[in-house]
Every structure is written in C-alpha cells, then in structure tokens.
Amino acid sequence: MADLKHAVPDNVQMKEFSYKAVILGAILAVIFGMANAYLGLKVGMTVSASIPAAVVSMAILRYLKGTILENNMSQTVGSAGESLAAGVIFTIPAMFIWGLNPDLLQIFIMALLGGWMGVLFMIPLRKYLIVKEHYNLPYPEGTACAEVLVAGQEGGVKARSVFIGGIIGAVYKFAVSGLKMFNGEPEAHIKGIKNGLLGMEATPSLLAVGYIIGPKIAAYMLGGGLLGWFVFIPLISFFGQFADKAIFPAADLIKNMDAWGVWTNYIRYIGAGAVAFGGFISLIKSLPTIISSFKEGVSGFKMENKQKEKRTDKDIPSKYVLIGIIVIAIFTCLWFVSQGIAKAPLVTLLVVVFSFFFVTVSSRIVGIVGSSSNPASGMTIATLLIVSIILVYSGYIGQQGMIAAITIGAIVCIGICIAGDTSQDLKTGYLVGATPWKQQLGELIGVFASALAIGSTLYLLNDAYVIGSSELAAPQASLMAIVIKGVMESNLPWGLVFTGAFSAGVIELFGINSLAFAVGLYLPMSLSTPIMVGGLVRLIVDKKNKVDDEGGILFSSGVIAGEALMGVIIALFVYYKWDVVLDIFSNVYKSTFFYSYGILIPFAIVTIFLYRISRVKK
C-alpha cells in the first residue's frame, strides 16, 4: 500500500499534546458523557460525540491559537466520554434495578478498568486495522471527523449550529421538566381497542435522534412499537380480562391493568427476548469478522517494528501495553477480593479473556459499519449468558452470582465501547497526521475524566427520575438484569421471552434489521413516535438537498447535548429538594387542555427549525 498523504506531514513538528488541548478534551468528555448517560438511559442508544467534540474544540481553540493536531487531541479525549457512558449505562444500572446500589468508588473502578482495557487491547491492532487495511475499512465517523478538522476554517459556522441546538434543547427541557409549563408526554386512548394508547414524548432530543439515525432505522423502531402497543397489549388485555387470577410474572389481575401496567408486566419480557435475538443475530452475522479480528489481535502483540519509526507510526510500545494489561488484571483481582467476591482469579480471568476477544471484534466491526451500529449489546448479552452459566456451575448463585456476572459484563461492555471509539479516533489521527502514542495517552486520560463523573451522574438521574421507570427505562440494563437474574434464579418467563425472540426472527426473515425493531418493541411507543418524526424530516431534507449536509447533524447533536445536560441540572434541583420552586406553572393550570397538549406547538416549531437549518443553500 502506498503511503498516505497526511494533512500534517510526518516531518512537521506541531503542538499536539498540550495542556489546553487535554484539559478542554477532559471537560468535553465529562459533558458528553453526562449527556449520553441521560440519553442512553432514556432511549437505549447514544450518539457519537466525535464530530460535535471536534467542532466545539475548534471553536474554542481558534481563540487560543490551537493547531489542527491540538483540535484532534481535544476531540480524541472528549469523545471518550460518550463511549464510556454507553458501556456504563448498558450494564451498571442493572444494580440499581435490583436495589443493589453500587457506591461511587465501585462505579469509578468498573468504568476505569473497562475503559483502560479497551484502549490497551486496541493498540496492537492499529497498524493492521487502521494502516494496512486503510482502503478496506473506512471507519465512517473517524473519516468524517478528519474532514471536519481539515476544513477547520469552517469551524465557526459549524460550531454555531451545535451551540444553537444546545441552547434550544436546554431551554425546551427547562420549560417542560423544570418549570413544568406543559405535559411533555401527551397521549390519547384509541376507542374500540382494549388499552389502545397512542402517545408521544414531544422532546427535541428524540426528534434529533430520529434525524441522526435516519428514516429507515426510525421506521423499524416505530414498527416494533406498533406491534407492542397495538397488537400485543390489546391482545393480552382482551383475553386477560377473563382471567380470575394473576398470570405470572404479574402479581395483579390483567383486567385491573391499564396499558402501562401490561407493558411493565409482560411487554418488557417480550421486548427483552426480541432484543436478545437481535443482538445474537448481529453477532452471528459478524462471525467471519470476529474470527479474523481475533487472529489479528493475537498477532498484533508479536508485531514490533525494530526499524526507526516515523512520528505518525509510533504507538505506545507493546511491552508497556502488556505491562499495563498485567497491572490492570492484578488490580482487578485484588479489587474483587476486597469486594468479597469469591474465586476472584476465575472472575478476573473471565474479564480479561472476554475483554480481549470482544475488543478485537469491536475494533474491526466499527471500521465497517461505524460506532453507532456496533452490536455492543449483543456481545455483552453473549458474555453475560456464558459467564452466568460458568458462575452457576462454579457454585455462584443468588445475589453474589448476580453481582459477579454484572461486574464482568460491565467491564467487558465498557471495553467494547471504548475500543470502538479509540479505533475511530486513531483513524482520524492517521488521516490528519497525528502522533498515535499521544492519541492513545489522550484516550486513557479521557476515560479517567469520564469515569470520575459517571457515577455521580447515575445517582443524580436515579434520584430524580428512577432508573428503570417509564422516564428512564434503561432498556439495555433492564435486559441485562433480566438475563442474569433469570439464569441465576431459573425464573424467567420463557414463554414471553420466546414470543419476542420469534417476533424478531420473523422480522429478520423479511431482511429487516431485527435489532432496531426489537428496541422499538422494548421501549414505550411514546419514544418511537418523535424519533419517527425526526426520521421523516431527514427523509425530506435528503431528497431536497441532493448533497450531504452536516448542519442538521450538528444542530441535532447540540440539541441532544443541551437537553440532556439540562436534564442533569434539573436532577440536581430534585436531589437538593429545590424543584418545588419550579412548579409554578403546573400548579396554576395543570388541568387545562393547553397544559395537556400545548407541548405540540413548541415541538412543531423546533421540527420546522430543524428542517430549515438542514437545508443546503443554493
């Protein structure tokens, strides 16, 4: 392969790993980590922070006379927050759902161990996946981020879209959830359908999510929601009204339940089966990549170029990577011992083996489909099922076994997510001419900064909204909790789980992405409807523009960040009991029609604004 022409040539010395770049990146890591923790707990997905972090850092570093490599360093450190948040919220909230609230130190250590393993295990893969396979693995987010950095002179205009979106998202969230000026989730009962309920959580962040993921995935999610809320719930409600005793797993009669009661007691298990099936199918489709990636991961530790390397070829040396992994493994084992987890060496071995295996898989997969389509939940479910069975046969049962299983799953899942982000960032660095070892050190710093803040964020959100409730459904974590508890206690309602699995299987036979459909089935339909609106806006914009436009994506990223951060701020008010001063509007006209449905007006205005800001000027 011919040498790539970097934006910054190898022989050029330029500021890169500077205090201002790293500190700004750490701040962005915490901000985007908090924002994505809120979003992920709400809708079960996160959005890539690489491009928004790059745009924001360019806007700030422009005034500090920062270089393109400093911009790249800031986004490298900053984007780690989003990925670490994804790994955390997919797993650790299961402990909150079980009522086993982990302390802040536990969350920090799990996040740090998983994040650092993800970075270190990915380093030996860089020369093969990023360099040698450059023309075969596009790493879409990494390539797009490099284009944004190279076009740095446009940073001011692009940053404006992010900041406008952030302000709109924050103000909207404060009006709805802070001042409670409107009911944020208007809903209407459909006559003639038993427990037929159509609702919409009219928030800009969900509109923005729909715009980012596009009309196809949004439609798949809506399809899952329609099956759950207009097929399964009415069917269960109709036939269940004749039952004279409670039907497991519910403790109450079905005839006494409304639509939300049926969803809580039955549909979530059906959705869990569908999500598990979708995750496994994603994993099976990736088997050829898994096998080749594992071989590359093993051989990567053997590759050490003895010749003098160029600046743009220098990784953290393999010997230091191996030392780091060994130290982390020893610390992990000692930490398990301190937590009272028996057979700590076995648990540590499972963590290291599964982390290495799936990190290599994640690093390769994101090169093809991007970080947003990385089947992290499927890999984590596979890990949890295998680990739970091993633990049960090793004498681990009950609460002790559940804690050990979710701890392993959390560290592995965080490693998977961070490895995908690291791969995209190293691709960006390869294109712009960054120094790999400096970027890798930046990733470790970004993980550390995010890990410090993620535990407090989880507790704030749990105290304000309750993790596992309709406000913060935490779909992936709820699924992990169901899987582990079901294996440990042998009490899963398998009939419902298999109903969901076969439903997703039928969708897969039609050639449709069953995982997106399954997420829609698992979540309340009120989340899928605004996402579909955003997808339709994207469909119209794409047909009108004829060319790619980043304005709508950046505005949407800003909206999500602004609304999520305001959600965290409001959670602070709730935590400190200050929220009573905000309830002025709801106490005045809570029973009026305007309070119930007036939210649709500002939602429509934001929708129109999203369309207009996304249009490419002729």
The two three-digit tokens of residue 18, written as one number: 């500077």
Mean pLDDT for 505-527 is 85
3-state secondary structure of 244: coil
* Residue 296: per-residue pLDDT: 57
Nearest to 445 by CA among 74, 69, 51: 74
Out of 103-117, 248-262, 507-521, 541-555, give the one with best mean pLDDT.
103-117
* Residue 371: per-residue pLDDT: 65
The answer to whether the bond into 249 is cis (omega within 30° of 0) is yes
pLDDT > 80? residue 246: yes
Residue with tokens 């994207």: 538
Q: What angle do CA 9, 315, 414 make, to 5 degrees?
A: 120
pLDDT in tens, 286-333: 567 556 655 655 565 555 555 567 888 888 888 888 899 999 999 999
- Among 102-106, 515-519, 608-612, which is the least confidently predicted range? 515-519
Which residue has better confidence, 532 or 309?
Answer: 532
pLDDT > 80? residue 548: no
- Residues whose CB falls within 8 Å of the CB of residue 58, separated by 6 or more in sequence, listed in order: 66, 71, 148, 149, 152, 155, 158, 159
Mean pLDDT for 215-224 is 90
Average pLDDT over the chain, rounded to whole? 82
Which residue has better confidence, 410 or 284?
Answer: 410
Which residue has better confidence, 583 or 69?
Answer: 69
Nearest to 472 by CA among 524, 407, 516, 521: 524
Q: How confident is the model at residue 532 (pLDDT cuts 50, 70, 90)?
A: very high
> Given CA atoms 540, 543, 547, 548 in this order, what sign does their dihedral have?
positive
Q: How confident is the model at residue 618 (pLDDT cuts 50, 70, 90)?
A: very low
* Residue 232: per-residue pLDDT: 95
- Among 130-139, 209-218, 222-231, which is the least confidently predicted range? 130-139
pLDDT in tens, 95-127: 999 888 888 999 999 999 999 999 998 888 888
Mean pLDDT for 435-442 is 94
DSSP 111-151: HHHHHHHHHHHHGGGHIIIIIITTTT---HHHHHHHHHHHT
Task: Find residue 199's DSSP bridge partners.
Answer: 187
The two three-digit tokens of residue 115, written as one number: 């994040």
* Residue 157: per-residue pLDDT: 60
Helices assigned H by DSSP within 394-470? 398-432, 436-465
Mean pLDDT for 18-37 is 90
* Residue 229: per-residue pLDDT: 94
* Residue 595: per-residue pLDDT: 78
Phi, psi of 497 (to 5 degrees): -60, -45
- Among 223-227, 397-401, 504-508, which is the least confidently predicted range? 397-401
Report the C-alpha dihedral over residues 140, 141, 142, 143, rounded to 10 degrees: 50
Q: Which amino acid makes up residue 215? A: P
State how far the alpha carbon of 204 is from the alpha carbons of 65, 91, 223, 254, in Å. 34, 26, 21, 35
Count of Cβ atoms closer than 10 Å to residue 400 Cβ: 15
Beta strands in 197-325 (DSSP E): 197-199
Mean pLDDT for 159-179 is 83
Please give the Cα distance from 426 to 76 (Å, whole number): 8
* Residue 1: per-residue pLDDT: 40
* Residue 486: per-residue pLDDT: 80
Mean pLDDT for 332-349 is 86
Query: Cβ(277)–Cβ(501) under 8 Å?
Result: yes
Q: How confident is the model at residue 156 (pLDDT cuts 50, 70, 90)?
A: low
pTM: 0.74
Mean pLDDT for 3-18 is 78
* Residue 454: per-residue pLDDT: 92
* Residue 499: per-residue pLDDT: 93
Helix orientation angle between 19-43 and 475-489, rounded to the nearest 10 degrees? 60
Q: How confident is the model at residue 391 (pLDDT cuts 50, 70, 90)?
A: confident
Nearest to 209 by CA among 526, 528, 471: 528
* Residue 608: per-residue pLDDT: 94
Q: How confident is the model at residue 143 (pLDDT cuts 50, 70, 90)?
A: confident
The two three-digit tokens of residue 88, written as one number: 């955390």
* Residue 260: per-residue pLDDT: 87
pLDDT > 70? residue 227: yes
* Residue 556: per-residue pLDDT: 83
The two three-digit tokens of residue 264, written as one number: 């809580």
Give the max Cα distance, the chain: 80
The two three-digit tokens of residue 331, written as one number: 């610390």
Which residue has better confidence, 457 or 565?
Answer: 457
Query: Cβ(428)–Cβ(74) under 8 Å?
Result: no
- Among 112-116, 211-215, 533-537, which is the least confidently predicted range? 211-215
pLDDT > 90? residue 572: no
β 197-199/187-189 pair status: antiparallel
The two three-digit tokens of residue 321, written as one number: 């990577």
pLDDT > 80? residue 195: yes
Please give the Cα distance from 233 to 267 (Å, whole number): 7
- Residues whose CB falls within 8 Å of the CB of residue 397, separated by 6 or more in sequence, listed in order: 488
Share of the chain above pLDDT 70, in %: 86
Please give the Cα distance from 235 to 240 (Å, whole number): 8
